[in-house]
Structures are given as structure tokens and as C-alpha cells.
Amino acid sequence: MVLLESKADKRLGRQTVAFANPPVLAAAAAVAGPMEGEGPLGRLFDEVVPDRLVGQKTWEQAEVKLLEKAIHRALGKAGLKPTDLDWIVSGDLLNQLGASSFAGRTLDRPFFGVFGACAAWAESLTLAAMMIDGGFAHRVGVAASSHHEAAERQFRYPIEMGYQRPPTATWTVTGAGAAVLVDPRAVGDGAWPRITHATPGRLVDMGIKDPFDLGSAMAPAAADTIEAHLRDTGRGPGDYDLIITGDLGQAGRAIAVELLMQVGYNAEPVLDDCGLMIYDRKRQDVHCGGSGCACSATVFAARFFGDLRAGRMRRMLLVSTGAMFSPTTFQQGESIPGIAYAVAVESQSAAREEDR
């Protein structure tokens, strides 16, 4: 067969979508564990649970509770009930999406589970924005979670072993972030954060095989997606108040800055990393920084959503980063592919000026 040439009407360049009617982030909420609560963003979280088990018997059940709490808090802030949602899009790190699946069970709405490792937050936001701008949904719940102890047990060793973590290791955030994304026609003219663009990422594998250095495994994917976004939109790093990666940590951030420099973009002044913001790295023993699906989800919901809503920030590029690290394929000698999804979020005034 021969397909005729045509171009999807919301595509910019090779890899970026520009939404015709940028979906509105009506609410966002973050629930965090006790250690995250003691970090620099502690007072910004909607809830800090006092106990890492959240009153449950297992780390996995605790993560389900964190995710449920975050979704219900986001819904509450938007004045909605779970039944008001058309769809839920959610991801986490547990095998078989153990947190999202069980949280989705109690929410009783049609559910899309995604796996993008720690990039699940922006992957979910991308799909939800497509659902709304495409006319398939009016309100979508988006969520992502992770839990330090559940992740360590699954990916490395149970924490009871007390193993030594190398300096390149990051610390999986215990927490969950959620947001309610709505059709812009639902909110009128208020100053709402809106998702204007999305740049889904490619799987990029530079041969990193060290499960304690996932920042280095993800940095090339982050740089690849940011480069694609800037190339497709014709923007430079300076067009953003902030470009924020998910969980590259200190080592990974430096690599991403260097890789972007090599292709002509100086992102150094505006590129920060959620993993470098969530903990006090001098006082809290987290080595390279925070990581996990909840890292970019909670930092975005607790801090940047508010900055955008209050007009303290005009335009940001959120780049959640994921390492497709599998203990099975690692033991078989395979390297670790990375992936990154970018979403551009703007306060309304900026979105109006937008020249597509």
C-alpha cells in the first residue's frame, strides 16, 4: 500500500505537539513521606504522612494509600468527586503498576496505566492533555507515586540488609502527586496553568549498566527530549523561566547541561532538577538527590503549580525522566535505556501570547 503524505494538524516539527486549546491544570496535590516532609519543600506539601507505612502492613500498600490520598486531595481542591473524572491516567514504579492498579480499583473510573519508570508523571500529563484537547475527555485525573522502601526492595536490595549506597545513588521519593486536568472551556478566564506543548521522548541508551547511577543513564534522554522540544518550537532555553528535569540528580544534571551545550543550547542558567530540590542534601543523607515517579510529581504539585497559579512563574518546561531499569535484564548484562517526556506549562497570560 502507499500512504498519502499528510501532517497531523497539532504537530510541530518531528516530535512536539502544540495543543490547540491548552488544557488547564485545575488542581494539583502532593502527599509526602516523613523524610520528604523534613526537606526544604516540607511546608508546601498538602499532607506529610507521619509514618512510612501510612498505617498499612506493607510498603506497597503504603504507596497505594499515598496515591489515593494525593488523588482525593487534588479532587477536593478542584471541588470534584472521583465520579466527575472521565478517565484516570496513572503510573508508578512497582511491578504490574502495583500502586496505580490498586488505587484505581477504589476510584472506579476508566483507567489507563502507563509505565515510563520515573517519567510516568509527564507521560501521564501528556496523554491526559491529548485526551482533553482531542475532545475525548472533559476532566482527567493524573497521578504518579513511588515509595523508597518498596522501590529498594524491588530494584536493589531490601533496606533491612543495610547495604552501602555509592555516591552516584539517588534516593527514591516516598510520596505521590496528582492533578486534575480539564477542558479550558470549564474554567473561564482565570489565570490557570495550562499545558501548551508536549514533547514525548525516545528511548535513549548510552550503555550505562550501573543501577546505582541512573542519573547518568537518564541524562542523555533528558537532553535528547529538551533538544527536540527547543528545535521543534524554535525556542531557546531562555524562553523558559525554568527547565526542570525529574530526577537526574547532581551527576545527571551536569551531563544533561553538557550534552545540550554540545548541540548549541546553554541551559545552565535555567536547568534545575526536582531531585536536587526535594531534600536538604547537606543534612539528609541522599547522595545525588531524590528520584522516583513521585519526585517530579510532588515537586511540581507542591511548588511549581503554585508558582504558575500565582503568577510567580510565567512558563516552564517540565521534563520527567525515567530509567527503564529492570533487575532481570540487568542481571542478564543489558544496559539501561532512559526516556524523558517534556510538557510546557504556562500561566494564562503567556499562553495567550503564544505564537504557534
Which of these ranges, 77-85, 156-164, 311-319, 345-353, lies near its own copies under the rule CB under 8 A?
77-85
Residue 119 CA to residue 295 CA, distance in Å, equals: 10
Within a 13 Å sphere around the CA of 88, how many CA atoms are in the beta-carbon half?
29
Taking alpha carbons only, the member of 25, 223, 226 closest to residue 124 is 25
Indicate the residue among 74 and 350 with the shorter CB distance to its own copies. 74
Taking alpha carbons only, the member of 275, 269, 227 closest to residue 250 is 275
List binders of its own copies among 122-161 (CB under 8 A): 123, 126-127, 130-139, 154
Indicate the residue among 41 and 122 with the shorter CB distance to its own copies. 122
The dihedral built from the CA positions of residue 222, 224, 227 and 228, taken in this order, carries a sign that is negative
Of the residues 29, 49, 65, 115, which one makes contact with its own copies according to CB under 8 A? 115
Q: Are strands 24-32 and 11-12 parallel, antiparallel or unpaired?
A: unpaired
**Pair 253, 245: CB distance under 8 Å:** yes
Indicate the residue among 36 and 46 with the shorter CB distance to its own copies. 46
Find how far residue 11's CA is from the centre of its chain.
22
Report, in Å, the least distance between residue 314 CB and its own copies. 21
Helix (H, G, I), strand (E, B) or coil at 177: strand
Indicate the residue among 24 and 277 with the shorter CB distance to its own copies. 24
List binders of its own copies among 312-331 (CB under 8 A): 324-329
| Residue 110 interacting with its own copies (CB under 8 A) | yes
**Pair 256, 245: CB distance under 8 Å:** yes
At 147, which amino acid appears? Answer: H
List binders of its own copies among 159-218 (CB under 8 A): 182-183, 185-188, 199-205
Of the residues 38, 42, 52, 112, which one makes contact with its own copies according to CB under 8 A? 112
Of the residues 87, 240, 300, 305, which one makes contact with its own copies according to CB under 8 A? 87
| Residue 305 interacting with its own copies (CB under 8 A) | no
Indicate the residue among 80 and 159 with the shorter CB distance to its own copies. 80
